[in-house]
Amino acid sequence: MQESYLIWGGTLFMALIIIFPFIRAHHKTLKKDEARKKEAVFLGADKTIAQHPIIDEYRCIGCGACVDACPENDVLGIVAGKATIINGLKCVGHGMCAEACPVEGITVGLGDTSKRSDLPFIRENRETNLPRVYIAGELGGLALIKNAIRQGREVALDIAERIKKNPDIPASDNAVDVIIVGAGPSGMSAALTAIENNLTYRLLDQQDPGGTILQYPRKKLVMTKPVTIPFYGTLTKPEYSKEELLDIWYAVMDKSGLKVETGCKLTGLQEEGAYYRVTTNNGSFKSRYVVLALGRRGTPRKLGVPGEDKPKVMYKLIDAETFTDNHILVVGGGDSAVEAAMGLARQKGNRVVLSYRKEKFFRIKRRNQERLEAMIHDKKIMVLYNSHLRRIDDSAVVVEWMGEKKKIRNDYVFIFAGGEPPFELLKQCGIQFGTTD
């Protein structure tokens, strides 16, 4: 009898020794997730911008399979025993969390759209409240490259069909059939489909073609589901690198003769008789139909200082490793500015100055704050608090700091002053937002 107690006791003890570290690690992760959630809410990073996981709290068993399945990392966590969205901003709606959930406790969608003033009203054929003005891609609320390509194609086919069957608006010498604004996956797909259907078109973008894909970090693995690109065929692999995907787009442009007019930022849209006039910072153009494929990420905010139009001024950092032995000024006080400054300061021979208009950083992640302090201490970064960039010259910048104008040697300037989402501009153009007609 006593012997069997000893065996049982020993087994239990061994089991506890083995299991205890796992319980402790799990407990630590839960605590960490709670802290991450608090920080994300404080920074406003918990809000999603497109489709996202909708978690059924009654079904969720808090197993964390969804957390591990997310390819963008960091999006989900477990708080109070349930899956929860932590860094919603990073979610692009892949839906792998839903596939991984063993209790079918996650669906992916836009949630309660009645409270979303950033979702445009769109009819079934993707036409807005303005007749013959369409929306394609992420601007409509649904992210992912495959959705953007499919929607771009659908709107161009709808336009081609309308023009063929019932040319309500006559062709005109000084108006193209369709103007497409935005040369990301949705706008490119719309333009390629327009070419296939012999429509005359203009494809306008404020930047180089490629859309948000251009902003991905170098070598980022892009997940796709099968989707057909006009003039190319079907993307069949589950993963492509950013560079591979861009090469495909450039090859398609070559093959189809697709032309993109870059440096054209949309500033207005007005009806002009039976046509539309699309106004940009680089001219205005007339068309029978319009496709808005602007995405939801907006335009980087400018400071409006002299010299800001120089090619050495940038609004995003994609690849810190390509900058070495340079004098660099980073402007801004958010996580993007601080992360860029630290990334650049780690490269060989760079001298990095970070200029921020306030007396300390208020809204950055604790992890970034700690790393930045260490780099300031090691003299890898110099921070100028309460400073304002006043002028950008070819080999220097002028920064106002402590009541004086300081001239600092400079090769590159990175500005992180936030972005201007396209919603206000579109509202001014007459596009209705909200989900009712």
Ligand X SMILES: Cc1cc2nc3c(=O)[nH]c(=O)nc-3n(C[C@H](O)[C@H](O)[C@H](O)COP(=O)(O)OP(=O)(O)OC[C@H]3O[C@@H](n4cnc5c(N)ncnc54)[C@H](O)[C@@H]3O)c2cc1C
Residues contributing to the site for ligand X (CB under 6 A): 92, 137-138, 143-146, 148, 181-187, 204-207, 211-213, 216, 222-224, 264-266, 293-295, 297, 299, 422
For ligand X, which is the closer residue by CB, 333 or 422?
A: 422
For ligand X, which is the closer residue by CB, 199 or 213?
A: 213
Strands, E assignment, 247-366: 266-272, 275-280, 283-292, 299-300, 313-314, 327-331, 351-355
Provide, rounded to whole angstroms, the least separation between the CB of residue 7 and ligand X: 54
Provide, rounded to whole angstroms, the least separation between the CB of residue 256 and ligand X: 17
Q: Are 416 and 336 in contact (CB under 8 A)?
A: yes
Structure-token pair, residue 14: 């061994």
For ligand X, which is the closer residue by CB, 180 or 381?
A: 180
Provide, rounded to whole angstroms, the least separation between the CB of residue 85 and ligand X: 16
For ligand X, which is the closer residue by CB, 113 or 281?
A: 281
Provide, rounded to whole angstroms, the least separation between the CB of residue 45 and ligand X: 13
For ligand X, which is the closer residue by CB, 172 or 368?
A: 368
The alpha-helical segments, DSSP class H, found in 214-350 are 242-256, 335-345
Amino acid at 155: V
Provide, rounded to whole angstroms, the least separation between the CB of residue 264 and ligand X: 6
CA dihedral 210, 194, 150, 423 (to 10 degrees): 60
Backbone angles phi, psi at 168, to 5 degrees: -60, -30
Amino acid at 125: N
Provide, rounded to whole angstroms, the least separation between the CB of residue 84 and ligand X: 21
Provide, rounded to whole angstroms, the least separation between the CB of residue 422 and ligand X: 5
For ligand X, which is the closer residue by CB, 187 or 230?
A: 187
**Rounded CA gap, 77 and 55, in Å?**
12
For ligand X, which is the closer residue by CB, 172 or 215?
A: 215
107-113 LR contacts (CB < 8 Å, sep 24+): 107/53, 107/54, 107/56, 108/51, 108/52, 108/53, 108/54, 109/51, 109/52, 109/54, 110/50, 110/51, 110/52, 110/141, 110/142, 111/52, 111/54, 113/141, 113/435
304 Cβ partners below 8 Å, 6+ apart? none
For ligand X, which is the closer residue by CB, 252 or 328?
A: 252
Structure-token pair, residue 325: 């032995």
Provide, rounded to whole angstroms, the least separation between the CB of residue 99 and ligand X: 15
**Rounded CA gap, 260 and 207, in Å?**
10
**Rounded CA gap, 261 and 283, in Å?**
11
Q: Are 199 and 161 in contact (CB under 8 A)?
A: no
For ligand X, which is the closer residue by CB, 334 or 422?
A: 422
Provide, rounded to whole angstroms, the least separation between the CB of residue 107 and ligand X: 18
Q: Are 245 and 167 in contact (CB under 8 A)?
A: no
For ligand X, which is the closer residue by CB, 105 or 230?
A: 230
Provide, rounded to whole angstroms, the least separation between the CB of residue 59 and ligand X: 27
Q: Is the dihedral of CA 369, 374, 380, 382 positive or negative?
A: positive
